Amino acid sequence: MVFFLIITIINLKPYNLYPLSSLIIPGTGELLLKEKKGEYFIYADLFSLFFYQTYNFLSKRENENAKIFASKYASANYFQKENYFRLLEIYSSSEEYNEDVLRQARNFYPEDPEKQKEYLQKHGYFGKDSWQWESDDLRLTYIEKRRNAKNKKLISSFFLSASLLLRIGSFFNSWFLIKNQKISFNFYPQGLKISYNF
């Protein structure tokens, strides 16, 4: 079946591939069809991709600044994973967090101190992974830095979605600009062949 699809694409006339061109770079299909509106698709895509990259970069930089801030003012382990830094927003210290973990362990294993200890060691943070915020104000500053990073990440995702929508829109726009289009499905013993007739 894949073979027949490849053969079909190879046999297509050049203008039949214009919608696929728009799917890769929005607006190119329209320009190939001599439609000036293709320029607007290209400009809009460049705009979207520029701001996607910009806000994505700013989000990463803000997140890195938050990690450095936590390392400096809470003695946090810079090399830990995301969940660790999320906990630094919630708990003033690793000791406070570990107390919650111990309470969970006692609920899960009420009559087994050994299991409780194992659970605490597995889910708690100790040694180089422990943290202690020097003040609540510093923790709030850290939370604000993290919030800014998340907001910028959200904005970047909107611009990325806009870029994807532009590709889809340009694809269908090019598709409908090609007049008298017909799609036929032909079945052969070896599989399905899709052909496009204009």
Residue 190 pLDDT: 54
Residue 36 pLDDT: 85
Residue 64 pLDDT: 97
Q: How many domains does the chain have?
A: 1
CA pair distance 62, 60, nearest whole angstrom: 5
Is 12 within the bounds of a domain? yes
Residue 128 pLDDT: 96
Taking only the tens place, the pLDDT of each residue in 3-37 is 333 334 444 456 667 888 888 999 988 888 888 88
Residue 22 pLDDT: 86
Residue 13 pLDDT: 54
CB–CB of 95/151 below 8 Å? no
CB–CB of 35/177 below 8 Å? yes
Residue 87 pLDDT: 97
Is 121 within the bounds of a domain? no
Question: CB under 8 Å to 197, separation ≥6 — which residues?
Answer: 181, 182, 183, 184
Instruction: Note down the domain range covering 136.
Output: 2-93+131-197
Residue 178 pLDDT: 81
Is 118 within the bounds of a domain? no
Is 105 within the bounds of a domain? no
Q: Which residues of the chain have pLDDT under 70?
A: 1-16, 179-198
